[in-house]
Amino acid sequence: MPPRKNELAEWGEAALRELRGPVVGQVRRKLAQWRDPRARLLRKRKRARQNATAGVVSTGGLGAGAYVSFAPHQFGIPVAPGVLETSLDVAAFGLGGVAVAAAFGSFAEWRRYRRLLKAPLPEPAPEPVELPPSGSRAREPMRLLRDAEQSMHQALTQLTADGFAEADDARATANRAATALREVASRLQAVEAALPHVPATEQDELRADAKRLRDELDEGIEGYRYLVAAAGRAVAASGAPEQRHAVQDATDRLAGLATALHELGWGSGTADSSRQ
């Protein structure tokens, strides 16, 4: 293959590699949004409203057609006695029956729509987040966090439906912890990106910083998964009162970890700015 074609082929492969990540991430987000219970309920509401509206319009149109067929003279339409008059009477009877059926169907859809409106909307599912590059030490913790967030959402949605009062506190703490963990992962990736470009005398210190950040990630992920386990046990026990303490303990522990990670990140940012 000529050099020019080789260059074009390499450029095309590089472009595909760059596009693959965003495209796959976008498809994953679309699938997650489609499967989300909140989105499903909203779609049911929309379909019920559309069906009810269509039923009202159909009932009105069929009723009008039935009346015109039954009394065409009211609209100045002359009809001679005979076959045509009989056909119009049959048409009026048929259209009237269909209009009554459409009215019943429309009424049922409106009742369904009102019932769906009263149903509480579940919390939106967390959107899938693009993972760090495969060579980063932050990738595996972030993969574990992504999967744990999905499990946490399902468990807390069920607990909320069961009237589990601690679910809201657990959800807020889990979201705060996930945000803090992703901040730590971003700092770890920044350190990894800097490693190839620093003097040899600074390599050991930066590697130690990377190890410390990875240890923080591992500890935070462990706390997050501990809360997932507690929520799962509460779901299995149908929100039994004895499970409330376990969920609250796991929530408090994760809240402490999230606070520590946030403070460490703030301290690191302050130290970096003073070093500059």
Please give the mean pLDDT across all residues of the chain. 77
Residue 49: inside a domain, yes or no?
Answer: no
Mean pLDDT of 104-131: 77
- pLDDT band of 140, cuts 50, 70, 90: very high
Distance CA 54, CA 194 (A): 61
Mean pLDDT of 57-83: 70
Over the range 63-99, which residues count as b (16 or more CB within 10 Å of their CB) and which as e? bebbbbbeebeeeeeeeeeeeeeeebeeebeebbebb
Q: What is the pTM of this model?
A: 0.60
Residue 93: inside a domain, yes or no?
Answer: no
Residue 146: inside a domain, yes or no?
Answer: yes
Distance of CA 57 to the CA centre of its chain: 34
Tell me which amino acid residue 86 is: T
How many structural domains comprise the chain? 1
pLDDT at position 12, please?
55
Task: Kindly tell me if the per-residue pLDDT of 30 is higher than 80.
Answer: no
Residue 38: inside a domain, yes or no?
Answer: no
Q: Which residue has the tokens 């976008």?
A: 26
Q: Which of 25-34, 75-84, 238-247 has the highest mean pLDDT?
A: 238-247
- 188: containing domain: 138-265
Residue 248: inside a domain, yes or no?
Answer: yes
Return the percentage of the chain with pLDDT > 70, whole number: 69
pLDDT at position 29, please?
57
Residue 206: inside a domain, yes or no?
Answer: yes
User: 210, 216 in Cβ contact below 8 A?
Assistant: no
- pLDDT band of 266, cuts 50, 70, 90: very low
Quick count: other Cβ atoms within 10 Å of Cβ 49?
Answer: 16
